Structure 1
Amino acid sequence: MKKIAILFLFSFAIISCNTEEKKDTSFKVDYDEFTLDNGLTVIFHEDKSDPVVAVALTAHVGSAREKEGRTGFAHLFEHLLFLESENLGKGGLDKLTSRVGGSGANGSTNRDRTNYFQTVPKDALEKMIWAEADKLGYFINTVTEPVLAKEKQVVKNEKRQSVDNNPYGHQREIIHRNLYPSDHPYNWEVIGSLDDLQNATLADVKEFYRRWYVPNNVTLTIAGDFDKERAKEWVKKYFDEIPRGEDIPELEKEIPTLTETKEFYYEDNFARLPQLTMTWPGPYAYHPDTYPLSILATYLSDGKEAPLYKVLVEQKELTTNPYMYSQDSELAGEITIQVRGNDGVDLDSIAKGIQTALTNFEANGISKKDLKRIQALQETRFYNSLNSVLGKGFQLAQYNIFAGDPGYINKDVDKMLAVTTEDVMRVYEKYIKNKNFIATSFVPKGEPELALANSTPAEVEEEKIVEGAEETFDPSITATYERTPSSFDRTIEPPYGESPEIKVPEVWRGDLENGLGILGIENDEVPLVNFSLTIDGGQLLENQDLPGVVNLLAEMMTKGTATKTPVELEQEIELLGSYISINAQPENITISGTSLAKNYDKTMALVEEMILEPRWDEEEFKLAKKDASTQIEQQLSNPRSVADNAFAKAIYGTDNILSQNTLGTSESIEKITLGDLKSFYKSNLSPSLANLHVVGAVDKETVMSSLSDLEQKWEAKDVAIPIIEVPQAPEKPIVYFIDVPGAKQSQLRIGYPALAASDPDFYNADVMNYRLGGGGFASQLTQELRETKGYTYGVRSHFEGSKTTGPFVISSGVRSNVTSESLKLIDSIITNYSNNFTENDLELSKNYEIKSSARSFETANAKLNFLENLSAYNFKDDYMLSRQAGLKNMNLDAMKALATNYVNPEHMIYVVAGDAETQLQKLKETGIGEVKLVDENLKPVE
C-alpha cells in the first residue's frame, strides 16, 4: 500500500570488504552521478547479479514543507501521483507495473522527503523511465475535483487505520505538538489532520505540486542490471524538456529547546495496558552525535544486561519489553524511551524505574566489550541492507539529498565504527541527563489513576461516526485539459528491451545420519550467511487443552544453555554480529538467523547448544509467561488482531488446534509448567523432522563440517504428526459480528477453508486470484472499494494453504459508516467474478506471473523461501519453471472454472469487528447471511 514511513531508513550502499580481516573500514561506493540542465540529479548503480532493475524517484518534500492549515499535502501527493498521468492514462503506474511483472509500484512519505519506487525485470527499464518522467512533467492536469475528493477518503481511511483505530495511535501527535513550537515544521504529523485534508482545494493541490515537484528538487536513482549509456540516453530523452522550477532554499536546522518537562495523559479507547513514553530533543541526521546516540539507545534497552531491562523487567517486574531509540530527521531528532507496563501498573513506578536505570548507567557507563558487541550488530545490519537493488537505490538518494553526497557512505561507516565509550557517555550527558522532556501516559479508558501524577489531559480530536457524513463523488468523470506540449509523442509506450534470462540458483543438498536434511545456495554478493532450520510439528503437536506450550518452548530455547547463562548466550551471539531467533508456527518450529560469513561456524556452534542443551531457567520461564500474557492482552485491544483470531476460529472451528492462538490463552499460560515444556521438547523435537536451509557466502563443505557434532548428538525420535481434519465450507453464508465500541473502522475478514499449498490447483488458483485481490492496485477489490468508492485504505485476497488446508481470505479495514455497503460490494464482486473474468484478465494475470519470476531469487530471504518450499513440499528445483510452462497453456475456460470453484459467495464466512451500536442493524439488513453478535471466541452475546 501507499504508506507513511516516518523514520529514515539508514541502511547502506555497495561496499567491498576483506572478509578475512576482523574489521575493514576501507569501503568503496560504486555509483555514477550526473545532473541534467533542469537540475534533476541522476544516480546509477550497476548490479548484474539478478535480471532486475529498481527505479526510484525521490522528491525533497515532506510534511516539513507544508503550510499550517494545509497539513497532509505531501502524503496526499504520494497517493495522487499513482492514479493517472497524461500519457499513462487511468491507473497510471500501477497498471503498468503489473503488466511488466514489477514488484508493485509504491511510495512513502516522511517529514522531509517523498519517494516513489518499483523493481521490474530489466527489459522494462525504458518503460519505467518514461512513466517516472510523467510524474514530474505530465501529471497535474489529470487531477480533478472528483479525483481529489476520492483520494481524500482513502487518506482519511489510512489515518483511521493507523491512528484513530489503533492502540496508542495518537501518541506521536501529542508528543510532536508539545515538543516542537507551533511554527516548527515538525509540529504536525505527516498524515495531517482530517479537517485540513477535507478543506484542501484543487487550487491548493496544484500550487503545492508546482512548487515542489520540479526536477531541481528531485533525485532519480536506477540500480540493477542495465546498460548505463543506454539508460543515460533514456533519462535525457524523457526528462530533459521538463522545465526547472523555482530555486528551493534549504530549511534551517531547528533542534527545539524545552524550558520545562511537560507531562500529558490520554485515556485510550483501544489500549488495554498503560504506556509511558519520554521524548527528548535530539540532533538532526548526520550530526556527529547521532552515532553514539544510536549505540546509547541500544545499550540502555536491548538485551538482558541493558540497564532499563534489568531494573524494569527483572528487578521490578513492571514490563516485559522496554524500548529506546534515536530518530534522526533533516532538521532535528528525537530520543525516546517507551515502556508498555504490565496490566494495572502505575506509570509513576515505571518513571522511577527509568530514573534508577539511568542513574545506574551514569555510575557504570558502557564497557568496551558492550560497545564492540553493538558495533558488531551494526556491521551485520550494514551488510543486510545490501540484499536488494531497491534498497541500494534508496540509500544513494538518501545520502545525496540529506548528506549532500551519495559517497557519504564512506564517512558514515567510519563514524559508526569510530564511536568510543567516552562518546556514548558524552551524548547521554548532553541530551538526557537532567534535561527536560515530553512525557505521555496512555492508559486504558476509565483508568486515569495509572498516569503519571500531575499529568495534564492531552487534547485529541476524536472523529465521530456519522452516517452519510462523507462527501460523494463521481469517479467516472474524466478530466478535460490541454495536453502539456512535448517534442515527441509521449503517449506511445516504449518497447520492451531484451527479455531477461531466468536462472534458477544451483541448489546443493546433504543429509545427516540422524535424518536432518540440508539444502543450500552459495552466494557471495555480501559476506553474510542466512539460515533457517525448520522442525516439523509445531502447534499441531500441542495438547489442545493447553495451547501456548510451543511458543513458550521456542522462547525458552533462546534463554541460555547448559553452559551459558541467558546473558552469556545473548552476548556471545551479538559479539559475533549474529542474529538467532526461534519461533513457533502452527506446523513447525523455526530457528533462523544471520551471521557474518567469517563467523558462520561459531554461530552454528551456538545454534547447536540452543537445540541440544536448553537451560530451563526458572526466572526466565516466569518472564516468558508474563510476556506471552502481555501479548495476548495487547491483541485484545487491537481490532485487527481480534478479527484475525476470531476468523481462525470461524474457519477451523473452536475445537480445532489450528483455531488456537499460538500464544495460547490467558488461562492456559497460567497453567503451563516448565515440565510441560521439557516433556514437549523431549518427545517432539527430532532431526528426522527437520531441514536446514543455508544461503550465502559459505560452501557445502563448510556447512556439512559445522554439523558434525549435531549429527552425533541430536538423536532421531519417532514422532507422529497428526493429520488435522479441516471443516468443510458452510452450506450458506454466515456473519459473525464482534463489537468494538467506538471503532472508527470495521475490520473485515471473509473466506472459507480452501486449499493446501500442495494441492494441484493451489498455484493456478493463486494466479486466478491476481485480478480479484492478489494484484494490489491491479485488483478489482482495490479498484472498487478504494479507487472508486473511497471506502478503505487497503483490501486484498489470498490463499493461505500450507501442508494443511488453509483458507481463502479477503481482508480489509473499512470506514465504519460504510460497513454494510462494503460487504455488499465485496459480495457483488465475488458473485460475478467468474462470469466477468475476460481474456484480458487472463493475459494480465499470466503475464504478471511469468514476468515477475525475474525477481524470484534476488534477495537472501527469497532464496531461503525457495529452499523452504523445496523441502516442505518435495518440489523439484525447477518447479517455478514447470508451473509457468503449464500456465502458458491455461485457457479462459479453465480460469473461469477455478474462479467458480474457489471464489463461491455461497460458502463464505464473514467476520466483522466494528461498532455494533451504529453498524449491527444495518448489517442485518444486507441479507448476505445470518448475522450473529459474538465475542472474540465466537460465543454468543446478548
Structure 2
Amino acid sequence: MHLPKHLTFLCLMAVALLSCQRQSKSKTPPQDFQVDFEKFTLDNGLTVVFHVDKSDPVVAVALTSHVGSAREKEGRTGFAHLFEHLLFLESENLGKGGLDKMSARIGGSGANGSTNRDRTNYYQTVPNDALEKMIWAEADKLGFFINTVTDQVLAKEKQVVKNEKRQSYDNAPYGHTSYVIDQNLYPKDHPYHWQVIGSLEDLQNATLADVKEFYRRWYAPNNVTLVVSGDFEPAQAKAWVEKYFAEIKKGADIPKQEKRPAVLSQTKKLYHEDNFARLPELTMAWPTIHTYHKDSYALRTLATLLTDGKKAPLNKLIVDEKQLAGRITMYQSSAELAGQLMLSIRGYEKVDLDQIHAAVEEAFARFEQEGFSDEDLARIKAVQEVNFYNSLSSVQGKGFQLAQYQIFAGDPGFISKDIQNMLAVTREDVMRVFGQYIKNKPYVATSFVPKGQAELALAGSQKASVVEEKITEGAEEKFDATAYASYPRTPSSFDRTVEPPYGKAPETRVPAVWEGKLKNGLKTLGIVDREVPLVQFNLRLQGGLLLEDSAKVGVSNLLAELLLKGTKNKTTAQLEEAIEALGASISVNAGEESITVSGRTLARNYAPTMALVQEILLEPRWDEQEFKLAKQRVESQIKQQKANPNAIAENQFRKLLYGPGHILSRNILGTEASLQAISFQDLKNYYAANLSPTLAAYQVVGAVSQPEVLASLSGLEQNWKAKEVFEPRYPAPAPPKTATVYFYDVPGAKQSVLRLGYLALPATHPDFYPAQVMNYILGGGGFASKLTQQLREGKGYTYGISSSFGGSQLAGPFQIQSGVRSNVTFESVDLIKQIMQSYGPTYSGQDLDVTKGFLVKSNARAFETMGAKLGMLHNISTYGLPVDYAKQREALVKEMTVDKIKGLAQQYVNPNRMYYLIVGDAATQLKKLEQLGFGKPVLLN
C-alpha cells in the first residue's frame, strides 16, 4: 500500500474534460493538457518533482526507485519486493517501527508501497503540517537504513513475504497462472521470466550480504525520484529536501536497460490441475510492445473493442450466443522493456476449453470481417479519458503519475502527450495492431482446470511446471524479532535523531451539505465540489437481501444485474452505448440491506446521465434471455466460491453470526438450489413490492448545484410513486455464551483463513464510534495495532491481520480476520486469544496518545476525494448523523480516557464469548486446536 508556461491544473482539466465530450461526438482534435510542476535535480542525482494543489490541507509524498524484479539476478528473485517490506521497518533515526509508527502519530493515510517489474514506490498522504517530518523520514530510508537490517530482521521479513505469496498465489484459485505464462513467454535470461513476488526457495536463500549488495546498487539517489504533491510552499519544501537528502552519497551510474519484446517461434500450450479451482479457465498471452509505444495505446483500445459490451465479438459469441462463460477479461499489459496482451476466459462448469478456444478464433474472424464503427471508437476514447482524469483527482494520484512519467518517459510533463496519444488512436491503428500482434501469431495458452479434470484442457497441452509447497510442521526458520542489535551509524552533518516539528496545524474542513426531500419522499443530499468537472452520485434503496424470501435467496442480486440489461426503449447494447457516449459509468449493486445505483459522469452531461438512471430504474426491459444468462453467471460465481478459502470463510462466518433462521446468514448470491427456484416473475414481484422512494436516498457530489440536481430528479419525483413496503423483523441473534472453535476443511491449503468474532453493535448505537476508537490499537490501526505488531512483525505468522466493528442500522460483527501460514494455525489463534485477554488491562496512556494523534490529525484529509464526501453523505442520510459529525467525533476522541478504553475493551472484546472459525487443512491442523481450551473443534464439512 509512496517550468514551461502552463495554465493551472484545474482550468486545464476543465478544458480537457470538455474537449473529451466533443471528441466523443466529433473529430475535434483534443486540447492540450498539462499539469503544473517544478522539477529539479540535486548534486547527488536525486530527481525531485513538485506539484502544488491547495484544494485540501494535505500533501502526498512518493519516493520511487527505478528498480523492480527486472533488475534481479536469477536465483535471487523477489529482492525488489522484499525491499519494499524492509524499508518500512526501521531506519537509524526513525527507530523501530519506522515510517509505519510515525504515520500513526501524524494522521497519515495509505502509508504503503508497491513493486512491479520495473519500479518500487513508497507513498503516503499526510496533513500538510507533517511535510517536513515526511521528507526527513523518506531521506532516512534512502540514506540511513541499511545498517539496521540484521539477520533477525531479514529472517522475520522473509516469513512475511512468503505469507504474502501463499495468500495471493499459492492458496488462491488460478494463482499460478502468471507464473506459468511468464516462464514460457520470456526466455530464461529475460528479466520478465520470473515473478515479482519471487520464489519461496529464492526468498529463503537470501543472505544479508545479498540484501546489502542489492540496496547499495539500486537505492542510490541517482536512481530515485521524489514527488511532493499537494498544499505546501515550494521554496520551503525545496530547502527541506536539500537539507535532508543532499548529503546522501551518489551511487554508481545505472545503465539503461534495452527494450526487449518477447519473441515466440510457435504457440505453447500448458495445463495445470488447480487444487482451488472449480471451473476451467483459458488464458492466452501474445507478446506485444513496451509502455508508451504508439502501438500500446491501440492495443488497449483493441482489447476493449473485442470484449467490452454486448456488441464486442468475444462477449457476443462466447457469453451470449454459445453461453460457454459468464465474463471475459482482456487487457494490454505494457512494461518498460516489453508488453503482453492478455485474454482470460473462465468457462462454466465442465466446459471443454477447446470449445472456448475455437470460439475465440471465430470471434477474431468476425471482428476482422465486420470491424467496428467510428461511434464505437469515440465511446471507448471518452471512457478512457474520463478514467484517466479520475485517476488524477487526488494529490496522491497526481504524485504517482508524475513519478511514472519522469522515470519511464523522462519527463513529468509527458502527462499531456499521454492523453494525446490515447485520443489519437485511429481505426487504421487498431486494425494494424490486430494484424501485427494477434492474427495468426503464436501465443502462450494456459488451461487451469479443477483437480481430476485434465480432459478439459486444450488439446496438445503439456503439463505445466508448478512448484507446490509442502505443509511441514516446524519447517520455518527461527528468529527473535525482539533481539537488540547494535550497528554503526551513518555519519551526518547534523543531528538526524531529532524529529522535525509540526508546522501550522490545519483545521478540519467539513464540506457544506445541502439536504432536501422530494414530494414522493426521496431524500436528497449534496455537496458542491468544483475541483474537477465531474459528478459522482449514489441512489441507495433500502432492501437488498433483507427483503428477500428465504426460500429464494438471490433475487435482489439478479435484479441488480438485470436492471442494466436494457430499458423499455433500449436494448442492452443501446443502453451501454448511451452511457458511454456521455463519458459516464453507471452500476447497480445489491447488498445485504440495500440496492444502490451508482454513477460518475462529466458535469456537463449530468442531466442526460440522470435521465438514463431514471429510465433504468423505472422502465426495466425485463429481457428473458438476459435473465437466463444472469442466472448462469451467478451459478458460476457460487461454484467458484466453494473452492476459495476466503469466500468460504466469509460465508461460513455469516452462518455462525446470524444463525440458520436469519436472512442475513445467507450468501447474497443464493445457492445453486435457490437459483433454480427463482423465476422471472420473482424478480418482477420483488421490484414491484420493494422499490419505493420513501425508503431511498440520493447522494451527489461534484460540479453541480442544488437546483441542477433537483431539476435532474424531477422525472423521478413525478413518475416514481411512493408505496408501503413490508419490512420483515428478525430477532437480533444473541452472541455466544461460550467460545467454540469451528473448522472447515480445505485439503492441502497452504494457509489457514481465520475469522474470530461475534455480532456486536449497530452503527446507531452510542458506543459504536467509541468502540472503533478503542479498537484502533487492537487491530484497527494497521501497523500501529498490537495484532499486526505481534503476529506479523513479531512472529512472521501472517501477511496481514485486522480487527473491526462493522455495523449498519442492524447490529454488525466485531471480527478479527487474517490468513496465517498453515503450520502455525494453533499458535496464531492462541496468540490472538492472549492479545485480546490482555488488551484492556495493559492499555496505556501511550496507546491513547497514538490513537488520539491519528484520529484527530487524520481529519485534515477526511474529505479530500469525491468518494470520501459521498461516504459522509451516506453516513448522514443512513444513520441520522449531524452534518458536522466529524468534528463531534474529534471532540469525543480528545475527551477519551484510558479508563474509558479499558471499560469498552472489557465489554466488547471478550475472547471467551466468540466464534472461532478456521478454514484450512484439517489433516495437519485440526487436532492441535483442542489446546485452545474451547473443547473439541466442530468440523463443518
Pick the TM interval, shorter chain: over 0.9
Match of 1:245 among 239, 242, 251: 251
Identify the residue that residue 812 of structure 1 maps to in structure 2. Answer: 818
Task: Give a deviation string over 1:714-754, Cα, whole Å, max 9, x none.
Answer: 00001132333221111110111000000000000000010
Identify the residue that residue 13 of structure 2 maps to in structure 1. Answer: 16
Higher mean displacement: 77-86 or 917-926: 917-926
Structure 1 residues 625 and 602, CA gap change in structure 2 (3 angstroms):
same
Task: Give a deviation string over 1:884-934, Cα, whole Å, max 9, x none.
Answer: 112211111111000111111111101100000000111123324441001
Q: Is the 8 A contact 2:10 2:531 kept in 1?
A: no
Q: Is the 8 A contact 2:285 2:343 kept in 1?
A: yes
Q: Does 1:927 align with 2:936?
A: no
Identify the residue that residue 463 of structure 2 maps to in structure 1. Answer: 457
Structure 1 residues 280 and 763, CA gap change in structure 2 (3 angstroms):
same
Q: Is the 8 A contact 1:274 1:341 kept in 2?
A: yes
Identify the residue that residue 869 of structure 1 maps to in structure 2. Answer: 875
Identify the residue that residue 473 of structure 2 maps to in structure 1. Answer: 467
TM-score for both structures, normalised by structure 1 = 0.97
Letter matched to residue 346 of structure 2: R
Letter matched to residue 419 of structure 1: V
Identify the residue that residue 8 of structure 1 maps to in structure 2. Answer: none
Residue 58 of structure 1 aligns to a residue whose secondary structure is strand
Residue 439 of structure 1 aligns to a residue whose secondary structure is strand
Report the Cα distance in structure 1 between the residues aligned to 2:18 and 2:434, rounded to whole angstroms: 35
Report the Cα distance in structure 2 between the residues aligned to 1:457 and 1:414, rounded to whole angstroms: 44
Report the Cα distance in structure 2 between the residues aligned to 1:137 and 1:887, rounded to whole angstroms: 37
Q: Does 1:852 align with 2:854?
A: no
Match of 2:302 among 296, 304, 316: 296
Match of 2:67 among 61, 71, 84: 61
Residue 755 of structure 2 aligns to a residue whose secondary structure is strand
Give the C-alpha shift of residue 382 in structure 1: 1.7
Structure 1, unmatched stretches of 5+, are: 3-11, 936-942
Match of 2:776 among 733, 756, 770: 770
Report the Cα distance in structure 2 between the residues aligned to 1:112 and 1:477, rounded to whole angstroms: 34
Identify the residue that residue 135 of structure 2 maps to in structure 1. Answer: 129
Identify the residue that residue 9 of structure 1 maps to in structure 2. Answer: none
Higher mean displacement: 17-26 or 279-288: 17-26
Equivalence map 1:769-918=2 (5 Å): 769-918=775-924
Give the C-alpha shift of residue 14 in structure 1: 9.1
Residue 769 of structure 1 aligns to a residue whose secondary structure is helix
Q: Is the 8 A contact 1:126 1:234 kept in 2?
A: yes
Give the C-alpha shift of residue 479 in structure 1: 2.2
Match of 2:120 among 105, 110, 114: 114
Instruction: Indicate the RMSD between aligned Cα atoms, in angstroms.
Output: 1.1
Task: Give a deviation string over 1:18-60, Cα, whole Å, max 9, x none.
Answer: 3655244221221111100000000011111111110010000
Equivalence map 1:424-439=2 (5 Å): 424-439=430-445
Letter matched to residue 623 of structure 2: D
Residue 118 of structure 1 aligns to a residue whose secondary structure is strand
Identify the residue that residue 591 of structure 2 maps to in structure 1. Answer: 585
Q: Does 1:365 align with 2:377?
A: no
Give the C-alpha shift of residue 384 in structure 1: 1.0
**Equivalent residue pairs, number:** 926
Give the C-alpha shift of residue 653 in structure 1: 0.6
Identify the residue that residue 265 of structure 1 maps to in structure 2. Answer: 271
Residue 871 of structure 1 aligns to a residue whose secondary structure is helix
Higher mean displacement: 25-34 or 230-239: 25-34
Give the C-alpha shift of residue 314 in structure 1: 1.1
Report the Cα distance in structure 1 between the residues aligned to 2:534 and 2:103, rounded to whole angstroms: 31
Q: Does 1:496 align with 2:507?
A: no
Q: Does 1:596 align with 2:612?
A: no
Identify the residue that residue 576 of structure 1 maps to in structure 2. Answer: 582
Report the Cα distance in structure 2 between the residues aligned to 1:842 and 1:715, rounded to whole angstroms: 51
Identify the residue that residue 7 of structure 1 maps to in structure 2. Answer: none
Q: Does 1:232 align with 2:238?
A: yes
Identify the residue that residue 760 of structure 2 maps to in structure 1. Answer: 754
Identify the residue that residue 27 of structure 2 maps to in structure 1. Answer: none
Equivalence map 1:415-430=2 (5 Å): 415-430=421-436
Q: Does 1:43 align with 2:49?
A: yes
Report the Cα distance in structure 2 between the residues aligned to 1:780 and 1:929, rounded to whole angstroms: 27
Q: Is the 8 A contact 1:53 1:119 kept in 2?
A: yes
Letter matched to residue 17 of structure 1: A
Structure 2, unmatched stretches of 5+, are: 3-8, 24-29
Report the Cα distance in structure 2 between the residues aligned to 1:107 and 1:783, rounded to whole angstroms: 18
Q: Is the 8 A contact 2:10 2:532 kept in 1?
A: no
Q: Is the 8 A contact 1:15 1:30 kept in 2?
A: no
Residue 704 of structure 2 aligns to a residue whose secondary structure is coil
Identify the residue that residue 144 of structure 2 maps to in structure 1. Answer: 138
Report the Cα distance in structure 1 between the residues aligned to 2:484 and 2:782, rounded to whole angstroms: 23
Residue 27 of structure 1 aligns to a residue whose secondary structure is coil
Q: Is the 8 A contact 1:13 1:386 kept in 2?
A: no
Identify the residue that residue 415 of structure 2 maps to in structure 1. Answer: 409
Equivalence map 1:314-393=2 (5 Å): 314-393=320-399
Q: Is the 8 A contact 1:104 1:776 kept in 2?
A: no
Residue 845 of structure 1 aligns to a residue whose secondary structure is helix
Report the Cα distance in structure 2 between the residues aligned to 1:928 and 1:394, rounded to whole angstroms: 49
Residue 621 of structure 1 aligns to a residue whose secondary structure is helix
Letter matched to residue 106 of structure 1: N
Residue 484 of structure 2 aligns to a residue whose secondary structure is coil
Identify the residue that residue 26 of structure 2 maps to in structure 1. Answer: none
Report the Cα distance in structure 2 between the residues aligned to 1:540 and 1:475, rounded to whole angstroms: 47
Q: Does 1:207 align with 2:251?
A: no
Give the C-alpha shift of residue 843 in structure 1: 1.3
Report the Cα distance in structure 2 between the residues aligned to 1:16 and 1:609, rounded to whole angstroms: 30
Report the Cα distance in structure 2 between the residues aligned to 1:897 and 1:528, rounded to whole angstroms: 46
Q: Is the 8 A contact 1:576 1:595 kept in 2?
A: yes
Equivalence map 1:494-573=2 (5 Å): 494-573=500-579
Task: Give a deviation string over 1:609-639, Cα, whole Å, max 9, x none.
Answer: 0010000000000011011101111111110
Letter matched to residue 278 of structure 2: R
Q: Does 1:169 align with 2:175?
A: yes
Identify the residue that residue 274 of structure 1 maps to in structure 2. Answer: 280
Report the Cα distance in structure 1 between the residues aligned to 2:33 and 2:460, rounded to whole angstroms: 52
Report percent identity of matched pairs: 62
Give the C-alpha shift of residue 15 in structure 1: 4.2
Higher mean displacement: 621-630 or 378-387: 378-387
Match of 2:196 among 187, 190, 194: 190
Give the C-alpha shift of residue 13 in structure 1: 10
Q: Is the 8 A contact 2:280 2:353 kept in 1?
A: yes
Q: Is the 8 A contact 1:260 1:436 kept in 2?
A: yes
Give the C-alpha shift of residue 315 in structure 1: 1.1
Letter matched to residue 572 of structure 2: P
Report the Cα distance in structure 2 between the residues aligned to 1:212 and 1:269, rounded to whole angstroms: 38
Identify the residue that residue 6 of structure 1 maps to in structure 2. Answer: none
Letter matched to residue 115 of structure 1: N
Letter matched to residue 431 of structure 1: Y
Residue 907 of structure 1 aligns to a residue whose secondary structure is coil
Report the Cα distance in structure 1 between the residues aligned to 2:11 and 2:608, rounded to whole angstroms: 26
Residue 191 of structure 2 aligns to a residue whose secondary structure is coil
Give the C-alpha shift of residue 422 in structure 1: 1.0
Match of 2:731 among 725, 734, 739: 725
